Homo-oligomer: A and B are copies of this chain.
Amino acid sequence: MLGAQGRAVHQCDRGWAPVFLDREQSISLMSVGFLLEKPDEAVVWRGPKKNALIKQFVSDVAWGELDFLVVDTPPGTSDEHMATVEALRPYQPLGALVVTTPQAVSVGDVRRELTFCRKTGLRVMGVVENMSGFTCPHCAECTSVFSRGGGEELARLAGVPFLGSVPLDPVLTRSLEEGHDFIQEFPGSPAFTALSSIAQKILDATPMCLP
């Protein structure tokens, strides 16, 4: 998605140097994908090995000064989530951004993730609803491909902020597929509008320590 496939991680004197996405080094990245010899290799690792790597990604990568560290986890409440929460606890993370799709089956799973956050003492920054409706590019009619409103209802019941809905947007998925810079090229698209508004809400609610 970030056009970083095949990039290599190097050892520097302060640890692993992350992969930088731009010349200004404004976005740096670390992934198990960079450590595999073959990109199609299955990471058939049991919990303890994964947990050790997650800890290393937090402590042994030369991240430098960061405004934000975003950890993209798999769905669920498993080893990876516990290892991440434990590794980040000393740094007092801002909290969890919880993403669901609108239908009941997904909302049920995500409700368990909210329970996980409460149990582990992780603040919930808010809920985002993804794949929320589809506007036909031919006739401009909007269809709820899945159901609608599950994310907002979940946030209401859990007493956490609802940050917004991101529609299914073929322009976004095509950009990621073909390596376009979605932010530069499609600032008017439905997904861009939704994502900017969500990002702004997060920034507004975040105590910043920027210079």
Q: Which positions in A face B, CB cutoff 8 Å? A: 1, 39-48, 50, 74-79, 81-82, 103-105, 108, 111-116, 119-120, 134, 136-139, 141, 143-147, 168, 170, 173-174, 176-177
Query: Copies per complex?
Result: 2
Residues of B within 8 A of A108 (CB): 39
Q: A103-B177, A173-B103, A176-B103 are in contact. Are A44 and B77 (CB under 8 A)?
A: yes
In angstroms, Cα B144 to Cα A170, docked, is 7
Q: Looking at the assembled complex, report how far the CB atom of A49 sits from the nearest CB atom of chain B, in whole angstroms.
A: 10
Partner of A79, one of B47, B75, B145, B177: B47
Q: Which of A75, A81, A104 has the most CB of B within 10 A?
A: A104
Question: Across the interface, do A111 and B40 meet the contact criterion of CB distance under 8 Å?
Answer: yes
3 closest Cβ contacts across the A-B interface?
A: A47-B47, A139-B139, A42-B116
